[in-house]
Amino acid sequence: MRLKYLLILGAGILLAGILLFFFLWPKGGDNVQLLTGPVQPLGEIGIEGESTIEWSVDLSLEQRLSPLARRVRPRIMLTWSAATASTFSVGLHELTTIAKEVRPRILVAWATFSTSVSPQVAESELIGETTGVDPRILFDAAATTAAPHLGGWTSLGAEASVVSPRILFGSAALSTLDLAFQTAPAELETFFSAPRVLLDASGLGSPVELEGPPELPEK
């Protein structure tokens, strides 16, 4: 008789445990959690100090954003904002005049002056083309410092930190109006100067779109 009650009791506990287990077990399905909301007090990172101020915020991603972002077409990204104003004034006179008319987004003209290497004279054909096309980026004889650095995104930062060129193009020649880029003189590769304009075209999934010179490496 005792054995019977013990067994029934045991079975009951087991059943209750199973039911409890299933009720409390978190449900699958909505496995993506969007964390939003106001600032929460944090205690995880320990801070000891009399006058410190803490501020915290949750990070979250609205999922509708990523599909939209994938529709953005390749472009040349300016790692450092364009030095438009500072180079504008030292550009070739005719080019400056043209630039004022066409309002190029970025104008790098005679920027290699700082490296004491004489740049090329602006090509008259380029100026002619510029007038009509309103280019987003216009390089005028400014590429002489960085043509070798066509490695694209991953190597760009490392190379820039070593070489510190005035202007660095990472596959960015794709955007130009077929200007011929010279190879950088060897002495420039050790020239110490913070980059003024840093360009990288790693986001260019389809170089064809920008009609780059054939010798440029394809991604």
Partner 1 sequence: MVRKVSRTVVLLAIGLATMLLYGPWNTKTREGASLSTSSPANGGNALGLVPPAFAQEVERSFLEEEAGISLYVNAGEEIDLSQAKALYKVLEDETESYLIGTVELSGYGEEWWPHVWIQKDGWIVVYYLKEEPTSRLMDWFAYERAGGGEINTTTLREVLLSVASNLKLDLTMIQRDMRYYHWQYPEAKKLLVVLDTTDAGSDTFKYTIPGSLKLYEVSGSHFGNVGCCVQWSQTTIDDEVFKKGGNEKYVLVGFLTGQAAAQGVQHEVVLKHKGGWMGIALFFLYS
Q: Which residues bind partner 1 (CB under 8 A)?
A: 3-4, 7-8, 10-11, 14-15, 18, 22, 25-26, 28-29, 31-33, 35-36, 42, 44-84, 105-106, 136, 153, 157, 202-203
For the bound state, the minimum distance from the C-beta of residue 186 to partner 1, rounded and expressed in Å, comes to 27
Nearer to partner 1, 63 or 124 (CB): 63
User: In angstroms, rounded to a whole number, what is the distance separating the alpha carbons of residues 182 and 91?
Assistant: 19
Phi, psi of 150 (to 5 degrees): -110, 25
User: In angstroms, rounded to a whole number, what is the distance separating the alpha carbons of residues 156 and 172?
Assistant: 11
For 116-141, b/e burial (b = at least 16 CB within 10 A) is ebebeebbeebbeebeeeebebbbbb
User: In angstroms, rounded to a whole number, what is the distance separating the alpha carbons of residues 119 and 108?
Assistant: 12
Nearer to partner 1, 116 or 161 (CB): 161
For the bound state, the minimum distance from the C-beta of residue 17 to partner 1, rounded and expressed in Å, comes to 10
How many alpha carbons lie under 13 Å from residue 134 in its C-beta half-sphere?
A: 3
For the bound state, the minimum distance from the C-beta of residue 19 to partner 1, rounded and expressed in Å, comes to 10
For the bound state, the minimum distance from the C-beta of residue 38 to partner 1, rounded and expressed in Å, comes to 10
Residue 155 neighbours by CB distance under 10 Å? 14
Nearer to partner 1, 42 or 121 (CB): 42
Nearer to partner 1, 26 or 132 (CB): 26
Q: Is 75 exposed, middle or buried (0-12, 13-18, 19+ CB in 10 A)?
A: middle
For the bound state, the minimum distance from the C-beta of residue 28 to partner 1, rounded and expressed in Å, comes to 4
Nearer to partner 1, 52 or 190 (CB): 52
Nearer to partner 1, 35 or 186 (CB): 35
Judge contact between 199 and 169, C-beta under 8 A: yes
Structure token digits, residue 29: 């399905």
For the bound state, the minimum distance from the C-beta of residue 118 to partner 1, rounded and expressed in Å, comes to 27
Nearer to partner 1, 22 or 192 (CB): 22
For the bound state, the minimum distance from the C-beta of residue 192 to partner 1, rounded and expressed in Å, comes to 18
Query: Which amino acid is residue 215, in one-letter code?
Result: E
Q: Which helix (H) or strand (E) holds 140?
A: strand 137-140
